[in-house]
Amino acid sequence: MLELIARCPEFVSGYRDYCRELYDAPSLFFRPTDPDTIDDDWFERTKPWYDRKEKGLIPGQPVSFHYWAVDGDRFIGEFQFRPEFSRKVLHELGNVGYAVRPTEQGKGYGTEILRRGLELARSRGMTRVLLTIDERNAASLRVCEKLGGVWDDTVRVRGARMRRYWIALEKTVDSGARNG
């Protein structure tokens, strides 16, 4: 069963494989951490940065929580949650973002990651969230609309046309989030 978990050393190898798949894929929408930088010390080396990001202590970056999506011992993808409505969140990033490794796409994991992420956002007091989705990303647009996303407008972000969707959180279902 899919779960969202806090970043942890036990899944770094799976994260590296996920990053490799996305890094090598002809993706137009998301470029993850360079997998060549993920070595045995990567988790401990990056933990202070992620801790600061969760506290809003990185200049120019919104508060952001990173979760990994796992199914048993398999690394599936990731989910990011930004609880504040800063200018950057409203005009570029949105409150949530998610990705699924290419070998696991088309199996419903994107829907489950977003569904569980929405419940996580609701449990943290959010009543609605904003998603910004590249208009060429048909799969993500379908997932967003399936989970109640209502199109607001289309904006240009770093040259890409991004559709902005709002999702109300009152009707989301039970979550599988843990450790965070």
Per-residue pLDDT of the chain in tens (180 residues, 90 and over written 9) = 999 999 999 999 999 999 999 988 877 678 889 999 999 999 999 999 999 999 999 999 999 999 999 999 999 999 999 999 999 999 899 999 999 999 999 999 999 999 999 999 999 999 999 999 999 999 999 999 999 999 999 999 988 899 999 999 975 444 444 444
Residue 177 lies in a domain: no
Q: How far apart are CA 46 and CA 94, in angstroms?
A: 23
Give a yes or no: residue 176 inside a domain. Answer: no
The count of other CB atoms within 10 Å of the CB of residue 122 is 20
> What is the structure's pLDDT at 98?
96
Residue 180 placed within a domain:
no
pLDDT confidence of residue 170: 79
CA distance linking residue 135 with residue 35, whole number of Å: 27
**pTM metric for this prediction:** 0.91
pLDDT at 29 (0 to 100): 77
Per the structure, how many domains does the chain have? 1
Within a domain: residue 173?
Answer: no
Sheet architecture: strand order including 74-81? 2-6, 65-71, 74-81, 96-100
DSSP 11: G
179 domain-assigned:
no
pLDDT score of 11: 98
First-residue to last-residue Cα distance in the chain? 18
Distance between CA atoms of 169 and 159, rounded to whole angstroms? 30
CATH no. for residue 64?
A: 3.40.630.30
Do the Cβ atoms of 3 and 179 come closer than 8 Å? no
Measured from the Cβ of residue 99, the count of other Cβ atoms closer than 10 Å reads 23
Sheet holding 128-134, edge to edge: 128-134, 160-168, 150-157
Segments forming the whole domain that contains residue 161? 2-168
